[in-house]
Amino acid sequence: MDHRKILFVCLGNICRSPLGEGILRHRAEMRGLSHLVSTDSAGTGGWHQGEAPDARSIAIGRRRGVDISEQRARKISPSDFNDFDMIFAMDRSNLRDIVRIAPHDSSADIHLFMDFVGGEHRDVPDPYYGDDRDFQKVFDMLDAGCAKLLAFLYPPTRPGERV
Ligand code: 4NP
């Protein structure tokens, strides 16, 4: 099976995309796919570079068994467009920014995450000015989406296998 490098991108890389990265890594581990999936996250903006994720993202992750506390924010760079196979934007504004800065020789597949995994909503909403419920909603959207993404990339091989 193919190895995939997957980058999650939001605006600040402190709320949504760190959770996407952490959840995908966690789910890949649970399915025994760690050797096949590499993941990272970045922001279209660089205001929070070097910072740990937002405390509310760390907290919801911890409550759900996903430790993102060691991750540090960074800004997306031109090399990401060739280093990663897939780049997932959290919302349509992020997608516009990513496409705008993509180098002409970009080899990555660039998608709006919720469009790719299929969902009721197109955007994973920015929870920065919200409350804990907004972070919970972000977690749930990303968790369901990452399960679907892994099931699409690595279909279960045994009947009844959990995805
Ligand atoms: P994120 O959330 O894009 O999910 O990391 C935000 C974090 C910081 C800001 C905006 C959104 N900010 O304006 O600083």
What is residue 131's predicted lDDT score, i.e. its pLDDT?
Answer: 96
Decide if 53 contacts 62 (C-beta within 8 A). Answer: no
* Neighbour tally for 8: CB within 10 Å: 30
Q: What is the pLDDT of residues 57-97, one digit of tens each?
A: 999 999 999 999 999 999 999 999 999 999 999 999 999 99
Q: 80: Cβ–Cβ under 8 A, 6 or more apart, which residues?
A: 7, 42, 87, 108
Rounded distance from Cα 157 to ligand 1 centre (Å): 38
Mean pLDDT within 94-108: 98
What is residue 158's predicted lDDT score, i.e. its pLDDT?
Answer: 78
The H-assigned helical ranges of 40-90 are 55-63, 80-83
Bigger pLDDT: 57 vs 119: 57
Decide if 36 contacts 4 (C-beta within 8 A). Answer: yes
Q: What is the pLDDT of residues 13-33, one digit of tens each?
A: 999 999 999 999 999 999 999
CA-CA distances (angstroms) from residue 67 to 61, 63, 80, 81, 104?
6, 9, 24, 26, 36
d(CA 81, CA 76): 9
d(CA 32, CA 36): 9
Is 126 designated active site?
yes
User: What pLDDT band is residue 162 in, cutting at 50, 70 and 90?
Assistant: confident
User: What pLDDT band is residue 45 in, cutting at 50, 70 and 90?
Assistant: very high
Mutate-to-test residue for ligand 1 from 8, 9, 14, highest number of ligand atoms within 8 A of CB:
14
Q: What percent of the chain has pLDDT over 70?
A: 100
Q: 140: Cβ–Cβ under 8 A, 6 or more apart, which residues?
A: none
What is residue 157's predicted lDDT score, i.e. its pLDDT?
Answer: 85
Mutate-to-test residue for ligand 1 from 17, 97, 126, highest number of ligand atoms within 8 A of CB:
126
Q: What is the strand order of the sheet 37-43 is part of?
A: 37-43, 4-10, 86-89, 109-112
The superfamily CATH assigns to domain 4-153 is: Response regulator (3.40.50.2300)
